[in-house]
Structure 1
Amino acid sequence: MTRVARLPRYLAATLALAAAAAAQAAPPPPPAALQGAREIAALPDGAWLALDKKALRLLGADGREHARLALRGQQLDTRPAPHGALAVVLDADTQRTLALTVDTQAMTLTTRSAVESPAFPVEASCLYRDGQGLDHLFVVADDGLAEQWLLGTGPARLVRRLALPPQTQACRVDDAGGWLYAQEEDAGVWAYRAEAEGASRRRAVALVGPLGPLRGGVQAMALLPGGLATVDGRGRLQLWRESDGRWRTAGKPQPTGARGGIEALAASADASSLLLAWRDEKDGRWSSTSRPWAPPAARTQLPVVHAVAQTDPVPRFGDAADDPAIWVHPGDATKSLVLGTNKKQGLFVYGLDGRQRQALEAGRLNNVDIRQGLRFGALTLDLALATQRDEKALAVFTIAADGTLADAGRVTTGLDDVYGTCLYAPQAGGLEALVNDKDGRVERIRIEATAGADGRPQFSGRVVQRFRLQTQPEGCVADDQTGRLFIGEEDRGVWALSLADTGPAPKLELVLKVGGLLQADVEGLALYHDRKAGRSWLVVSSQGNDSYLVAEAAPPWRVRGAFRVGLNAEAGIDGASETDGLETTSAPLGAALPRGALVVQDGHKRLPDGAQNFKIVDWREVERVLDLN
């Protein structure tokens, strides 16, 4: 069976430890007691793990054995840990993946079950340590069926299922680059996103001819800092460097001393050089060579906040959930609600605990917004308006004092493909809706309400302004206090304009341009009014890099930073990615959310896989990571 060498590394510890040990002196070669081991792994303090046919052994730097675990194991992988390492190994008899705490000071092995036997025979497995420092395990079947599990002190939890190439013989994860490498023996090496959040991606790294330079399949691979080393079926060793998801040839060292085929390959690097080692399939001897190699520059990591709650998934799969809004209960803020649109079904209502309270089957709703305490003559109403795409209209919902919603009718528009919307409650009173079309047209509609014969309010609207953007908009938010509208043009950025300008060509100012922290598509927009500090923040969904940008909502529109919503392992809530709509409130929502909340749509439900939903974030987390106070 083709395998990846786990760690016959002569000059350094495992690749996972290489970054931390980059400037340190190289450790001595493996002791003679490791000869004959199928897989080996270098550990801190000069210790070694050796996986033989019948046992996993822990050896000291002098080669003396200190601990042993009897098993018929395979697929050894490690990551650094306090006082030693985390190791995983697959028990070939039970198909359970075991996790081991390796203490290189006490020289002990402590074992527990990491992942029970899955519903398929495991052919490959590998560890992944994400940007939050959480450990994951990938297990892969021969037919490519794969699962990603979150490891921890308790039982492992399934994060997601994914499809890797059939006949995947081995896998390895570049933690820093975020790439999961899958070795398909007859086709080559592929790279997948190791991060569970976001859309799946696959890239070709090194393929077998005629599509690539490999000949006779791929026999082995090893991680390099910022790249990969491969050996093909003709024994040719080749190095690859990765940059922005592309791999380019970075050298072809000539293996020496190999009388048979190369069955295993390993690599290690320090601050300026790379050591490659290979095992001869015929006699089991190891040979090595070194060459200059510059590690890649460290990648910038955005700060991470965590959701404290999440809503029930919408009852439709695919691209369904879209935009949230927040209704603040007038008497008890803990009874406030999150409204969320389902583009395949209607409007859903959730408590702050995420439990669904109502479902209003109103059809293909896209964006939704709320205003409370609106006065229309003798009527005082809380209203939610949402774009109804099939009817080319605004769907109007009334919200009772206890939070019960009712479908109250439609207000027609003159648009062909109704898309985004936001509400504006002028200081002089009344309500207006800004509605946009995918072709860039925007209508500003004055909403009117009167009491019907049955006592129920009746709604109508009239267009008071029309203007357009050059390309597709969607998200928008109006500042009732300043009379300013922010509207996102998905591929260009965020525009601001004064709603006092009611002409057909209002003056638009591009206040946030796509580039840097803000990556297209520009999606949801929201305002957080910090009344205590007397300032407001504009929050933008930067869909292109699964993050959220925060800027001052007044000139000079200074950007304060960006963040991601990461996995909350303690609460069992996954992160958020590919966010469409979002909303904020600064209203205290009880002891758990004293500074209000941020609610974001999650485009990819994980932990485990499921239909899309909405995540609720304590605003204090945003203030903390961006130092907004």
Structure 2
Amino acid sequence: MYHRFRLTPLAALALSGLLTACSGAADQPSAYSERSVQNAALQAWSPAHAQSAESWLLLNNGQRLAANADGLWLLDARGQKRAQHSGNFSALDARMLGEQLLIATTETALQQPTLLQADADSLTVRRKLVLPSSDYRIENLCLYRDDASNLHLFIIGEEGKGDQWLVGSASQLLEQAAHVRSLGLPPEAEHCAVDEQQHLLYVNEESVGIWAYGAHPEAELGRQPVDMLAPFGGLQELVAGLTVIPGGLMALDADARQLHSYRLTAEGWEALAPLVLDGTVEPERLTARAVDGQAELLIVDGDDGRLYQSRIDWPHKTLNSNESMPMVQPLAQTESVPSVGDAADDPAIWLHPTDPAQSRVLGTDKRNGLAVYDLQGQQLQYLHAGRLNNVDVRSGFQLGEQQLDLAVASNRDHNSLQLFGIDPVAGGLRDLGQIATPLDEIYGLCMGQAADGRIYAIANDKDGRFLQYRLDGRSGEARGELVREFSVATQPEGCVVDDQRQHLFIGEEGEAVWALDAGEDASTEMTRVINVDGPVEADIEGLALYQHPEHPYLVISSQGNDSYVVTDAEPPFALRGSFRIGLNAELGIDGVSETDGLEVTSANLGGPWSAGMLMVQDGRKRMPEGNQNYKYVPWQSIADALQLD
């Protein structure tokens, strides 16, 4: 998961442990003092070229890449030049991109981050991507490949400034970089390193310690401490260079001339015995690679620029995250809702009776109203109707002499049902008024329709109560009659009705999804569909129904791990799988996290939506950052990912 900071799937290093260390450090010895300190066997390394380079990188093939005022240098292990690309560069990172080497660096004079896609043996540049100039001095940069193999660049700047950019897909550089998010970093940050398996960005704060941030583009902007300066941790004086090695992290304590290593375990970061770097004066930069159970190191001394290399035992393996699941991509997104903060919540779809391409998506803005979008995501209408939380749609509502389609939303301003009529030709909405309820905190809502055409609105309260209303407009005024009540033990929200089979599914956010009969006179006995703490992680949010020609599927928003779970919507409610929605690099659409509501249709809407469409609320709008919105995903991509019938 990405939105709540934790290791994947590790438990986060407990902040409470740091606070305990802070409060008790004066009275008891630190656990770090019990570790034995050993000397590292350093060997001076004097390359024949690029002696003045501060930025170095050990490549997996044993070669070394350097950046300085004379260009980029590819050297062998003896320091002999293999290739050179002229220029004036500082800061350095690299990844293999197919058979080519993708180099991230900074054009020093212009302070412009630059990506070069070059031949791995000759540094002949095949493609180049230059990012806009930063309004701050660039201290360092780090590449990151996410779980869908998209390439990102982290820029670490002075005074706590930083940015994350999307720079490439799985196979190539983008024509234009996309800004993912701004980063609030420590004011003394100068070095970074990325653990791609655990989706972690490590950043130093010179006089404080080492911090870990979520690196995934959908991660929230939180951080956790890895290690702190004494007396609160094992670091001694000045945190400098960082490097990730499979299974852990290494950091330089510059003034103390020590190398600190941290092994990643299921409980967090385990500090290993530090190594003294005898012979160095102020080691500041570090690069490493894993070789046959050892770590090969290359260290730059900031005092005189000398280079040292070493090999140390490193038998640790990368911790398996066990969280891989299929990834699908959105093909469209709506304009952002007008309200800032946590505003967008629940979508519904109105199907045009004759032209599916003219269908509309309704999306609540729970701070101010209801938006209406077309299938390209363009906002066509916005109704300032108050704090609307959930919305649903049914057709064939008789209002006086007129038959129309009906949308109903839960209005949290008045604890009421807010009704809208839908124009059958243009799809526009008009306010039909409200139906009062006795609920104290109205929350979720869904609609249902009986075989005889009667339409129901089912609303719930945060206290667990559900009220089922039969809606009637034959008098010319929309009214609601309470016909059934039931409850769950804790807070619910999402619900959905299978009209064909007259089943009602409800989500109890921290407990389970339940099924019961939908009829107004039916039993309220509930059957458990799926529990929390399996593939579903609390909170259970939106529920939606895909009407397969032979059997329906239930789609569940598992907000706790930013995923979506699909089960059969008929007993025994077999689990069909889980998936996530990742970013679409080619279309410049960000991925999805923290989903509240969702909707799905099996109707053929044409083009990529011929097998239907899933619409989800996105809790974090990025690329660029902005107010929340809704994403559209082709159902066919979900069916392919989960091998559905």
Same fold (TM over 0.5): yes
Structure 1 unmatched runs, 5+: 1-27, 453-457
SS in 1 for 2:625: coil
Map of 2:308 onto structure 1: 286
Shift of 1:30: 7.8
1:595-610 matches, within 5 Å, as 595-610=611-626
Letter in 2 for 1:85: L
- Say which of 144, 155, 170 aligns to 1:139: 155
Structure 2 residue 284 is the aligned partner of structure 1 residue 263: yes
Cα offset for 1:443?
0.9
Deviation by residue 1:254-295 (Cα, 9 ceiling, x = unmatched) = 335334232233332246444455444556241424224221
Amino acid in the other structure paired with 1:600? V
Cα distance, 1:591 vs. partner? 2.5
| Counterparts of 1:52 and 1:114, CA distance in 2 | 18
Partner residue, 1:438: 462
**Contact 1:43–1:49, Cα closer than 8 Å, also in 2:** yes
SS in 1 for 2:225: strand
Matched, 1:337 2:356: no
Query: 1:271–1:295: 8 Å Cα contact kept in structure 2?
Result: no
How many angstroms apart in 2 are the aligned matches of 1:240 and 1:66? Answer: 34
Matched positions, count:
593
TM-score, normalization by structure 1: 0.89
Structure 1 ranges of 4+ moved more than 6 A: 28-31
- Counterpart CA distance in 2 for 1:64 and 1:419 is 68
Q: Distance in 2 between matches of 1:281 and 1:618?
A: 53
TM-score by length of 2: 0.87
Structure 1 vs Structure 2 CA RMSD: 2.3
1:486 and 2:510 matched: no
CA distance in 2, matches of 1:569, 1:137: 14
For 2:434, the aligned partner's letter is: R
Please tell me whether residue 38 in structure 1 is matched to residue 45 in structure 2.
no
Q: Is residue 399 of structure 1 aligned with residue 422 of structure 2?
A: yes
Quote the offset at 1:349 in angstroms. Answer: 0.3
1:239 maps onto 2:261 in alignment = yes
The corresponding residue for 2:138 is 122
Q: Is the 8 A contact 2:328 2:641 kept in 1?
A: yes
Matched residues in 2 for 1:244 and 1:429: separation?
55
Distance 1:29 1:556 in 2: 68
Q: Provide the rounded CA distance (Å) in 2 between the counterparts of 1:599 and 1:512.
A: 22
Distance 1:51 1:277 in 2: 14
CA distance in 1, matches of 2:46, 2:99: 21
1:471 to 490, 495, 502: 490
**Aligned match for 2:444, one of 404, 410, 420:** 420
| 8 Å contact kept, 2:44–2:309 | no
| Aligned partners of 2:529 and 2:573 also within 8 Å | yes
Any residues of structure 2 matched to 1:65-464 within 5 Å, and which?
A: 65-110=81-126, 112-151=128-167, 152-232=173-253, 233-243=255-265, 246-249=268-271, 251-270=272-291, 272-281=293-302, 284-299=306-321, 300-375=323-398, 379-402=402-425, 403-452=427-476, 458-464=477-483
Structure possessing the higher relative contact order (Cα contacts under 8 Å, 6 or more residues apart): 2
Q: State the distance in 1 between where 2:378 and 2:100 align.
A: 43
Give the 3 Å change call, closer, same or farther, for CA 468–438 of structure 1 in structure 2: same
Q: Distance in 2 between matches of 1:112 and 1:508?
A: 60
How far apart, CA to CA, are the structure 2 residues paired with 1:592 and 1:334? 11
Q: How many Å apart are 1:40 and its aligned residue?
A: 2.4
Deviation at 1:247, TM superposition (A): 2.0
**2:329 counterpart SS class:** strand
Correspondence for 2:541 among 513, 523, 548: 523
Cα distance in structure 2, aligned partners of 1:412 and 1:384: 16
Deviation of the 1:624 alpha carbon: 0.8
Indicate whether 1:495 and 2:514 are aligned. Answer: yes
Q: How far apart in 2 are the matches of 1:267 and 1:45?
A: 12
Letter in 2 for 1:524: G
- Alignment deviations for residues 99-144 of structure 1 (CA, whole Å, 9 cap, x no partner): 1223124553446243121222212211111111111111122111
8 Å Cα contact 1:191-1:202 kept in structure 2? yes
Kept after mapping to 2: 8 A contact 1:423/1:431? yes
The alpha carbon displacement at 1:43 in A equals: 3.6
- 1:64 Cα shift? 4.4
How far, CA to CA, are the matches of 1:611 and 1:596 in structure 2? 26
Unaligned runs of 5+ in 2: 1-42, 168-172
- Going from structure 1 to structure 2, the CA distance change for 1:281 and 1:616 (only over 3 Å counts) comes to closer
Q: Secondary structure at the match of 1:58?
A: strand
Q: 1:274 to 1:570 in 2, by over 3 A?
A: same
Q: Identity, % of aligned pairs?
A: 41
**1:423 to partner: Cα distance:** 0.5
Distance 2:433 2:361 in 1: 21
Q: Are the counterparts in 2 of residues 38 and 53 from structure 1 also a CA contact under 8 Å? A: no
| Equivalent-residue separation in structure 2 for 1:30 and 1:541 (angstroms) | 55
Distance 1:44 1:265 in 2: 15
Secondary structure of residue in 1 paired with 2:404: strand
Q: Counterpart in 1 of 2:34?
A: none
- 1:575 & 1:103 partners in 2: Cα distance? 31
